[in-house]
Amino acid sequence: MRTGGTLISSIEFPGKMSLVIFTAGCMLTCPYCHNPDLIEGGEETATSSIIQRIKDASDFVDGVVITGGEPLIQDGEILKIMEYCKESGLKVKLETNGYYPERLEKLIKLVDYVSLDVKAPFDKYQKILGECSLKRDPGECARRSMEVCLKAGVYLECRTTYVPELLDPEDVLEIAGSIKCDVYTIQQFRNKVVADARLKAVSNPSREELLAIAETVKPLVKRVKLVTSEFGSEFIK
């Protein structure tokens, strides 16, 4: 399978020490992508080698995070990894853009936590992605993936990266009104590493700006979380 490495983290899976597996490949063209080297890059790694890394780390991790890129491009290999995790008593978190709801449905019983990227209001993904040659509407796919998670009863985090040049506060309010999840995370855009070099000139939104947006969406969702460089992850009460 194509991968971009692994690391041990106490941050990526809330409340758990985890082994994070970066998969390579993605069908979307998000200009603010912070892992642009994984879109078409990565290296070939035997799935058995990934499973061995999980085994080697199992004495000091509680879970495994599978992220990308888009993990479900390689759903067959991801299935093998998830099955091993479950056999070993490890919790599984999946981070996905939601483009493959039918693949997600086949794997969902093996997942404890899903982080679903909601990049824009479901009917306005073109605002973020621009013109693209995808065969399916990525916004509708993300909405269907949300429904898969809700039906399965898995813990669901929806998250949006707030890029001032691409979204405005009204877009975030619209997203909040159209999602159902356990927590809605608003992430601070960071211009240091991006897929589109033009975004390097866009200022990172301040925590105060994001906090003002979070306050407006609080009545529409169960919980709101901010992720900023200044304060890390924080729930908004």
* φ/ψ (deg, to 5) at 95: -105, 125
| Adjacency order of strands within the sheet including 183-188 | 43-44, 2-13, 16-23, 63-67, 91-96, 113-117, 155-162, 183-188, 224-228, 232-236
For 164-202, write each residue's pLDDT tens digit.
999 999 999 999 999 999 999 999 999 998 988 999 999
pLDDT-derived band of residue 7, with 50, 70 and 90 as boundaries? very high
Indicate yes or no: pTM above 0.75: yes
Residue 220, domain extent: 2-236
Could you tell me how many residues make up the chain?
237
For 86-126, write each residue's pLDDT tens digit.
999 999 999 999 999 999 999 999 999 999 999 999 999 98
Domains contained in the chain, number: 1
CATH value at residue 125: 3.20.20.70
What pLDDT sits at residue 37?
86
Q: What angle do CA 20, 26, 31 make, to 5 degrees?
A: 100
How many Å apart are CA 147 and CA 144, to the nearest integer? 5
Residues facing 67 on adjacent strands? 22
What pLDDT sits at residue 130?
77
Is a pLDDT exceeding 80 seen at residue 132?
A: no
What pLDDT sits at residue 34?
87
How many Å apart are CA 117 and CA 128, to the nearest integer? 12
Distances (CA, A) of 217 to 10, 119, 221: 28, 16, 7
How many Å apart are CA 24 and CA 2, to the nearest integer? 5
Six-digit token string for 1: 């399978």
